[in-house]
């Protein structure tokens, strides 16, 4: 029997990611701030937890993908947060886009509880999430990633181990910066501004 997966964050990316885990045969428990977003998953066989803490106490792998660093902190450390219930020997996979420092702080909190941790932000957009073709940028121990490989394979087509905890977030932030520069360059071109050359 496959390990039980918990999923927190059922937005544009999280909902299709969770559906792909169900399709792959993983027993699934979900939680979302707006519970109605879990309706189709529950209809498909997932269970709905009342709180992140309740969810974390029942799963072998916990995946989080929420909007921003404050949301990650609330889900993990807030009232009835997941870290209060997470079981020793389980694993936390955070696919939110957060700071490398927060990823390292989360890793330290997990180590204290005997829990594996991978920071694994994603790229590929909603289309990639729906098709199960996301790309994961992963920071953490190689042996931790190997244990999680079947879970990643249910959601994505590629996953890159980039180094210690925080490395996944560093690469994701660098990619976001490159994208922002491309958008700025395009905006300047469309506005009719000449490209600036140094030297």
Burial of 7 by CB count in 10 Å (0-12 exposed, 13-18 middle, 19+ buried)? Answer: buried
Best CA proximity match to 22, nearest among 46, 56, 57: 46
| Cβ neighbours for 36, distance < 8 A, ≥ 6 positions apart | none
**DSSP secondary structure letter of residue 15:** H
| Cβ neighbours for 127, distance < 8 A, ≥ 6 positions apart | 133
Residue 2 is a catalytic residue: no
Distances (CA, A) of 77 to 22, 109, 137, 172: 27, 10, 24, 24
Contact 57, 86 (CB under 8 A): yes
Residues tagged active-site:
172
């Amino acid at each position: 029997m496959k390990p039980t997966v918990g999923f927190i964050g059922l937005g544009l990316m999280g909902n299709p990611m969770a559906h792909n885990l169900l399709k792959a045969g993983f027993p699934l428990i979900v939680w979302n701030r707006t519970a109605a977003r879990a309706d189709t998953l529950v209809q498909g066989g997932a269970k709905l937890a009342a709180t992140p803490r309740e969810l974390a106490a029942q799963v072998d792998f916990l995946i989080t993908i929420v909007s921003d660093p404050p949301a990650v902190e609330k889900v993990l450390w807030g009232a009835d947060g997941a870290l209060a219930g997470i079981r020793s020997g389980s694993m936390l996979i955070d696919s939110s886009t957060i700071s490398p420092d927060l990823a390292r702080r989360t890793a330290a909190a997990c180590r204290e509880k005997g829990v594996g941790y991978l920071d694994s932000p994603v790229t590929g957009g909603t289309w990639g999430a729906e098709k199960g073709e996301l790309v994961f940028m992963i920071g953490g121990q190689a042996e931790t990633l190997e244990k999680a490989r079947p879970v990643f394979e249910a959601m994505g087509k590629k996953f890159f181990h980039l180094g210690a905890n925080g490395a996944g977030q560093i690469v994701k932030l660098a990619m976001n910066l490159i994208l922002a520069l491309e958008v700025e360059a395009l905006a300047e071109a469309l506005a009719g501004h000449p490209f600036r050359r140094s030297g």
